[in-house]
Structure 1
Amino acid sequence: MARRRLSHEGTLILDSEGLSKLLGDDETVVALVAEARSRGMEVVISALTIIEAVHARTNKPRLNWILSGLRVIPVGDEEAKAASTLLMAAGLHGHKYAIDAAVAEAALRQQRPVVMLTSDVDDMTKLRGDRIRLVGV
């Protein structure tokens, strides 16, 4: 498998699938996170990503260990308003896109360059424009 290269410094943000694959020890995602850290990138997630990714079978000690190495970005009313603006600008609405919009909004506020590991490349493309590099996982 060809290895994907990330930027020096900046931020790596994981969406729900990125976090789920990291929790599941997915070889590609683990390698991308390790590479990001070796290049000085901060690895972050939105607080809402935890809600979306965790389920009854989640290994809670592993989750806590993984989260201890990530910066969790809170979502308050200002962030919610900004995410809502992204949704409207993209012509999207509703619960299907709400967490994606919050993740995209969080990504837009991070130190550049920003790379996002996501399974929703199409939706994230609509929400973030060309300001964030997307890597499909």
Structure 2
Amino acid sequence: MARRRLSHEGTLVLDSEGLSQLLADNETVVALVAEARSRGMEVVICALTIIEAVHARTNSARLSWLLSGLRVTPVGDEEAKAASALLMGAGLHGHKYAIDAAVADLALRQQRPVVMLTSDIDDMAKLCGEGVRLVSV
């Protein structure tokens, strides 16, 4: 398996699929997170990502353990307004893309360079523009 190389320092953001794959112990995602940490990158998720990634079969003990090693950022008024502005700028509706917009806003606020593990390359590209390197998972 060829490993994807990440930047030195900066931030790694996991969207819902990134967190889901980490929970599932996906070899590629686990390796990318480990490499990010070894390079001094902080690993971050939006608090709303937890809501989107969790389901009836989620191992709650594993989830708690993984979350203890991530920076989980809340979404307050300022972040919600910024995410709404991203949605309007991208021509997307909050009903379908609200959490994606919150994750994109989080990513755009992080220490550069920023890498995001996502399954929504097209939508995240619309929301993040050139400010975030997107890696498909």
Common fold by TM > 0.5: yes
Could you say which residue in structure 1 is the equivalent of 2:65? Answer: 65
**What is the 5 A alignment of 1:11-30?**
11-30=11-30
8 A contact 2:84–2:94 mirrored in 1: no
8 A contact 2:10–2:41 mirrored in 1: yes
Distance in 2 (CA, whole Å) between partners of 1:95 and 1:88 is 12
Identical columns (%):
85
Indicate the RMSD between aligned Cα atoms, in angstroms: 0.5
**What is the 5 A alignment of 1:83-98?**
83-98=83-98
Distance in 2 (CA, whole Å) between partners of 1:79 and 1:66 is 24
Q: What SS does the aligned partner of 2:5 have?
A: coil
Distance in 2 (CA, whole Å) between partners of 1:96 and 1:22 is 24
Q: Which runs of 4+ in 1 moved over 3 A?
A: none
Distance in 1 (CA, whole Å) between partners of 2:97 and 2:14 is 16
Could you say which residue in structure 2 is the equivalent of 1:46? Answer: 46
8 A contact 2:10–2:113 mirrored in 1: yes
Structure 2 unpaired stretches of 5+: none
Could you say which residue in structure 1 is the equivalent of 2:100? Answer: 100
Q: What SS does the aligned partner of 2:82 have?
A: helix
Distance in 2 (CA, whole Å) between partners of 1:95 and 1:130 is 24
Q: What SS does the aligned partner of 1:45 have?
A: strand
Deviations 1:92-121 (A, max 9, x none): 113211100000000000000000000000
Structure 2 length-normalised TM: 0.99
Query: Counterpart of 1:98 in structure 2: which amino acid?
Result: A
Structure 1 unpaired stretches of 5+: none
Distance in 2 (CA, whole Å) between partners of 1:102 and 1:109 is 11
Structure 1 length-normalised TM: 0.99
Give the length in aligned residue pairs: 137
